[in-house]
Chains A and B, each alone.
Chain A
Amino acid sequence: MNTDDLFWINETAEKRLKFLADASQVLSSSLDHETTLSNVAQLSVPICADWCAIDIFQADGTIRRLAVVHADRKKTALAFELFEKYPPQPSDNHGLVLVMKTGAPQFYPEIPDDLLVATANDKEHLAILQSLGMKSAIIMPMKVNGKILGAITFVMAESTRHYQSKDLDFVFDLASRAALAIENSRLFTEANDANVSEKHAAAVLNTLLMSAPVAFAFLDRNLYYVRVNAAFEKMTGKSQKQFLGTRFGEHFAKELSRFGIRIDDVIEKRKPLLNIPVHGASPANPHDIRHSLASYYPVFSENEVIGVGILIYDITEQKQLEQKIREQAHINEKLHEVGTVLTGELNLDKIVQTVTDVATELSGAQFGAFFYNVLREDGEAYTLYCISGVPREKFSNFPMPRSTNIFAPTFKGEGIVRLADVTQDPRFGKNVPYRGMPVGHLPVRSYLAVPVISRTGEVLGGLFFGHEKAGVFTETAEYLVAGLAPQAAVAIDNARLFDAANISRTRLQSQLNFTDALTNSLGEGICAFDRSGKVIFVNPAATRLMGWEHEEFIGKELADVFNTGAGHDPSPEVWNAILNEERTVEGENIFIRKDGSSFPVSYVAAPFIEKNVVQGVVVTLRDITETRRIQDELRRSREELERRVVERTVNLTAANQELEAFSYSVSHDLRSPLRSIDGFSQALLEDYMDILDTEGQDNLHRIRSASQKMGRIIDDLLNLSKLTRTQMRRERVPLSEMVHKIVEEFKSTDKDRHVTMTVQDNLYVVGDTSLIRIAIENLLSNAWKFTSKKAVGQIDFGAESLDGETVFYIKDNGAGFNMEYGSKLFGAFQRLHQAHEFSGTGIGLATVRRIIHRHGGRIWAESQVDQGAKFLFTLPDFKQEKETKW
């Protein structure tokens, strides 16, 4: 049997109906009720119970066990034995006897041991009871018309199932049918007994039927009413006269089709229709719905069906009683549930929510609220509330209820207020600003408010319930909530005490939580060891780093975890230094993971001290694989760079040396032949003057002039190459003063020239004085040269600010040049003028540019042909305030 079948109690109504139909079939199969009831018991196990007993209450007050069925036959025997050995005593106030006395079912959702102890007669009895392993039970009386005929007992044991309150409904149905079966069988027996004398029998029957509290009617073969009794008249609200001579279907056509009653079958198949549940409005009160069980018997005479007997049992009262019982059981169950929750719960929020939820449900309220006072950590009280039945948002816009006339009795703890319609109460609507309920408040008519008062008399809060319909809250509801309130108060008291005791602990805990969260979220591994070197704490990062599970990590030895190989820290010496000298040790190392792979770590090992004693060592680990990799990469690239620099330097040095050797050789070897050419040309001129004609002399002059020019070119070239090689000094260079001096020199060597010079005073730069002088000299010399064809030359020197940068300029009004060729200006041997116009070697501006560039400056020119030229350059600025630095 699979477990799904076991939990029949959770099965669909359809399956239950199927069981009930099967049971009815069994019950109606025979009028021998003892057999049919035994069969029902058989049918019930194990679907409805682990064992089932059917007992008959006899007229003498004894109880006869009719049937016991258990899946295990041995246990069946045990149950019989138990019943015989320890029969129920009239003095009992539990179980079967209680059912017999009260007619109310007994429902045991749980069968705790103390219940067995309470019911057992002696130790042996108790032992047998305990051996049965009962978990849950229902004892349902079999009643007909208020007469208790016996009881059906369902017990759950081995399957550990438990009955719920809703199961009562079902068992009640079964018991009712069983009771009817017994009653029918009794009636039949009595009728049979009466058969002895026809006349006597008729009289008995007549009396029986007509006076029976059961509704009875007799139809002839053609289904015409022949007789109805008083109960039938009462039930239908019609008199016998109205029935007689009418056909059965004329009266209850609707009901017949609704309940599926096929009365023709009774006659044709000669079989009774038994215990068909029917219901309908009472003729006296259309709001009073009556529930009944209807049975239709074929009436035989001489083995011929001569008519149909109809018996209708009104079971409304039982139904209602059952409903009440079910409600009560439900309430008990809920209270039990609440009790369990409340006793085990110290969380205030949960307590109040549970109480509110349960009270709202049990009171039948649409919604409930619990306003309660709590103490904050700083000791101040304030009011919170919880809501049940509707979302919290429905109330979150409203202020806390004030101590108005309606609310005051609750908040002052004066008593319960239960109103069928709060809006009709004289206290209602008397307070500003709302004068009743605030706009948007859920409509309340039925109102129930119960104060929750602590054992010390303090009002802890109030439970409030509402319903939009009037008159919803019954006395039961009030009683229920009133019973719940003290339970809640105790729970709240406890929770408060607990909270108060917990406030300091909470603070500590929050500190711990913080530390916890911190160590958990840290990327660095943290591992703590006790003094003996055993791991007592690791954070998740450490487990990740080392590859150990948290559980296997804890308790590990230092050497297992920090498997650092021989000669590595933390060595025993270092360990002892940490423990005994309270030293903090930092280092880097290679650590080996659980799987044997290794990784570089940087670690800090520090003692942790509590109560002035070093308790152990906390080690913080960081995986520095990535750091190492970056460091290695950096180191490699730095080495590569250094290597390249060295290579470059070697190359440069070699190139420099070559250049130097070249220059040296040029200065000697190139100049010597020139000197020879010039010297011997002169010798010719001197020694052979008389035989040389004018043209010959002129040619020799040209040779001399050319060689001298080449000499100058060589000198300039050498100077230019020297510029790049000489060590630069950095000093303060008085530019304006320098310009003055150079121009004075020009003027003194070229006295015929008329040149107007303007010089902006007090301009300084930082650089190598001799190099800068060469540059300035070149520029001024160009200006001087290119203004030579002007009647009055104009040369200006100054500085201007361009985009925040100081730009120096030397401007002339000379020949200028075409900007198209400007790019050629600063190249060596580039000349923009023909030699006969202006002399020059074409090296000057190349020299100037090289000097400016060596100083980190820039040079450029602006010009137009015959409009003069302006050379602009930048040089490291010399600021007055920086003077001390240089």
Chain B
Amino acid sequence: MVTPKTILLVEDNPDDEALTIRALRKAHVSNDIIVARDGAEALDYLFGTAAYEGRDLSHQPQVILLDLKLPKIDGLQVLEKIRSDKRTELIPVVILTTSKEEKDLIGGYSRGANSYVAKPVDFVEFTEAVKSLGMYWLLINERPPFKRP
């Protein structure tokens, strides 16, 4: 059975959420998009806790699009948790954020982000970026073999 390739979008800003999903759809990405609106929710989803209690953890996202500035637990902390857990450590994480700050870039890559994309203001450019992102991570990139817990 082919595991459906889902995308975990961690985004607190509903506008950005809508625009990102719009851009993905525009780029003809039809995969399921799970949205977590803060860091804690993202981790709950990934580790099957709280609202996601009992979720089948063998089904993990194809790629995680992670914003950095998040309520409760921020993006970099979420990334740290992902990379430090055997169950999630290999999941590709793309940081999709407004910040172009050097410290965020370094903070992201040093914690094991696979990619870092700064969201441009220009929506056309944004769409282009998300399009190539989806293309790459969903179609071109071979995701690592799923590890059973």
A contacts, CB < 8 Å to B: 663-664, 667-668, 671-676, 678-683, 704, 707-708, 710-711, 715, 718
Tell me the complex Cα distance, A673–B19, Å.
Answer: 12
Enumerate chain A residues within 8 angstroms of B13, measured Cβ to Cβ: 672, 676
Interface centre among B16, B69, B100, B123 (most CB of A within 10 A): B123
Q: Which of B122-149 contact A (CB under 8 A)?
A: 122-124, 126-127
Enumerate chain B residues within 8 angstroms of A668, measured Cβ to Cβ: 69, 97-99
**Total cross-chain contacts (CB, 8 A):** 62
Does the CB pair B121–A711 fall under 8 Å?
Answer: yes
Does the CB pair A671–B101 fall under 8 Å?
Answer: no
User: A675 is contacted by which of B99, B100, B101, B121 (Cβ under 8 Å)?
Assistant: B121
Interface of A, secondary structure class, is: helix
Enumerate chain B residues within 8 angstroms of A663, measured Cβ to Cβ: 101
> A672-B15, A676-B15 are contacts. A681–B69 as well, Cβ < 8 Å?
no
Q: Find the B residue at minimum CB distance from A687.
A: B22
Q: Write the nearest CB–CB distance from A190 to chain B, whole angstroms.
A: 155
User: B98 is contacted by which of A672, A678, A707 (Cβ under 8 Å)?
Assistant: A672
Q: Find the A residue at minimum CB distance from B122.
A: A708
Does the CB pair A675–B69 fall under 8 Å?
Answer: no
Give the top 4 A-B pairs by smallest Cβ distance, nearest first.
A711-B121, A676-B15, A679-B123, A679-B19
Would you mind naming 13 contact pairs between A and B with Cβ atoms under 8 Å apart? A663-B101, A668-B69, A672-B16, A672-B98, A673-B15, A675-B15, A675-B121, A676-B13, A681-B123, A683-B123, A707-B121, A708-B121, A711-B121
Tell me the complex Cα distance, A718–B98, Å.
Answer: 13
Tell me the complex Cα distance, A672–B101, Å.
Answer: 15
**Proximity bits, B98-115, A CB within 8 Å = 1, else 0:** 111100000000000000
Enumerate chain B residues within 8 angstroms of A667, measured Cβ to Cβ: 98-101
Does the CB pair A675–B22 fall under 8 Å?
Answer: no
Enumerate chain B residues within 8 angstroms of A675, measured Cβ to Cβ: 15-16, 19, 98, 119-121, 123, 126
Does the CB pair B19–A671 fall under 8 Å?
Answer: no
Q: Which of B1-28 contact A (CB under 8 A)?
A: 13, 15-16, 18-19, 22
Tell me the complex Cα distance, A715–B123, Å.
Answer: 16
Enumerate chain B residues within 8 angstroms of A711, measured Cβ to Cβ: 120-122
Does the CB pair A664–B123 fall under 8 Å?
Answer: no
Enumerate chain B residues within 8 angstroms of A710, measured Cβ to Cβ: 121
Tell me the complex Cα distance, A682–B128, Å.
Answer: 13
Q: Write the nearest CB–CB distance from A785 to chain B, whole angstroms.
A: 21
Enumerate chain A residues within 8 angstroms of B69, measured Cβ to Cβ: 668
> A668-B69, A672-B13 are contacts. A704–B123 as well, Cβ < 8 Å?
yes
Tell me the complex Cα distance, A683–B13, Å.
Answer: 17
Tell me the complex Cα distance, A672–B96, Å.
Answer: 12
Does the CB pair B98–A682 fall under 8 Å?
Answer: no
Q: Write the nearest CB–CB distance from B139 to chain A, whole angstroms.
A: 23
Does the CB pair A679–B15 fall under 8 Å?
Answer: yes
Tell me the complex Cα distance, A679–B22, Å.
Answer: 9
Does the CB pair A678–B99 fall under 8 Å?
Answer: no
Does the CB pair A676–B19 fall under 8 Å?
Answer: yes
Q: Write the nearest CB–CB distance from B103 to chain A, whole angstroms.
A: 8
Does the CB pair A682–B120 fall under 8 Å?
Answer: no
Does the CB pair A664–B126 fall under 8 Å?
Answer: no
Q: Write the nearest CB–CB distance from A659 to chain B, whole angstroms.
A: 13
**Additional 7 contacts, C-beta under 8 A, given A711-B120, A715-B100:** A667-B98, A667-B100, A667-B101, A668-B69, A671-B98, A675-B126, A679-B22
User: A679 is contacted by which of B99, B101, B126 (Cβ under 8 Å)?
Assistant: B126
Q: Write the nearest CB–CB distance from B136 to chain A, whole angstroms.
A: 21
Q: Find the B residue at minimum CB distance from A712.
A: B121
Enumerate chain A residues within 8 angstroms of B98, measured Cβ to Cβ: 667-668, 671-672, 675
Does the CB pair A682–B123 fall under 8 Å?
Answer: yes
Does the CB pair B121–A671 fall under 8 Å?
Answer: yes
Enumerate chain A residues within 8 angstroms of B100, measured Cβ to Cβ: 667, 715, 718
Enumerate chain B residues within 8 angstroms of A681, measured Cβ to Cβ: 123
Enumerate chain B residues within 8 angstroms of A673, measured Cβ to Cβ: 15
Tell me the complex Cα distance, A704–B100, Å.
Answer: 21
Tell me the complex Cα distance, A710–B101, Å.
Answer: 18
Tell me the complex Cα distance, A682–B16, Å.
Answer: 14
Does the CB pair B99–A682 fall under 8 Å?
Answer: no
Tell me the complex Cα distance, A679–B100, Å.
Answer: 19
Enumerate chain B residues within 8 angstroms of A704, measured Cβ to Cβ: 122-123
Q: Write the nearest CB–CB distance from B22 to chain A, whole angstroms.
A: 6
Q: Find the A residue at minimum CB distance from B19.
A: A679
Tell me the complex Cα distance, A766–B24, Å.
Answer: 48
Tell me the complex Cα distance, A322–B122, Å.
Answer: 145
Tell me the complex Cα distance, A676–B69, Å.
Answer: 16
Tell me the complex Cα distance, A708–B123, Å.
Answer: 9
Q: Find the A residue at minimum CB distance from B121.
A: A711
User: A680 is contacted by which of B15, B122, B124 (Cβ under 8 Å)?
Assistant: B15
Q: Find the A residue at minimum CB distance from B15.
A: A676
User: A678 is contacted by which of B18, B22, B101, B123 (Cβ under 8 Å)?
Assistant: B123
Tell me the complex Cα distance, A667–B127, Å.
Answer: 20
Tell me the complex Cα distance, A668–B15, Å.
Answer: 13
Tell me the complex Cα distance, A680–B121, Å.
Answer: 11
Enumerate chain B residues within 8 angstroms of A672, measured Cβ to Cβ: 13, 15-16, 98
Does the CB pair A674–B99 fall under 8 Å?
Answer: no
Enumerate chain A residues within 8 angstroms of B99, measured Cβ to Cβ: 664, 667-668
Tell me the complex Cα distance, A521–B123, Å.
Answer: 92
Enumerate chain A residues within 8 angstroms of B16, measured Cβ to Cβ: 672, 675-676
Tell me the complex Cα distance, A841–B122, Å.
Answer: 17
Q: Find the A residue at minimum CB distance from B104.
A: A664
Enumerate chain B residues within 8 angstroms of A715, measured Cβ to Cβ: 100
Enumerate chain A residues within 8 angstroms of B126, measured Cβ to Cβ: 675, 679
Enumerate chain A residues within 8 angstroms of B122, measured Cβ to Cβ: 678, 704, 708, 711
Does the CB pair B121–A678 fall under 8 Å?
Answer: yes
Q: Write the nearest CB–CB distance from A668 to chain B, whole angstroms.
A: 5
Tell me the complex Cα distance, A212–B121, Å.
Answer: 165
Does the CB pair B121–A674 fall under 8 Å?
Answer: yes
Tell me the complex Cα distance, A710–B19, Å.
Answer: 19
Tell me the complex Cα distance, A678–B16, Å.
Answer: 11
Tell me the complex Cα distance, A681–B15, Å.
Answer: 12
Enumerate chain A residues within 8 angstroms of B127, measured Cβ to Cβ: 682
**Proximity bits, B44-72, A CB within 8 Å = 1, else 0:** 00000000000000000000000001000
Q: Write the nearest CB–CB distance from B105 to chain A, whole angstroms.
A: 12
Tell me the complex Cα distance, A675–B15, Å.
Answer: 9
Q: Write the nearest CB–CB distance from A344 to chain B, whole angstroms.
A: 103
Q: Write the nearest CB–CB distance from A431 to chain B, whole angstroms.
A: 112
Tell me the complex Cα distance, A715–B101, Å.
Answer: 11
Enumerate chain A residues within 8 angstroms of B97, measured Cβ to Cβ: 668
Q: Find the B residue at minimum CB distance from A683.
A: B22
Tell me the complex Cα distance, A675–B13, Å.
Answer: 11
Enumerate chain A residues within 8 angstroms of B15, measured Cβ to Cβ: 672-673, 675-676, 679-680
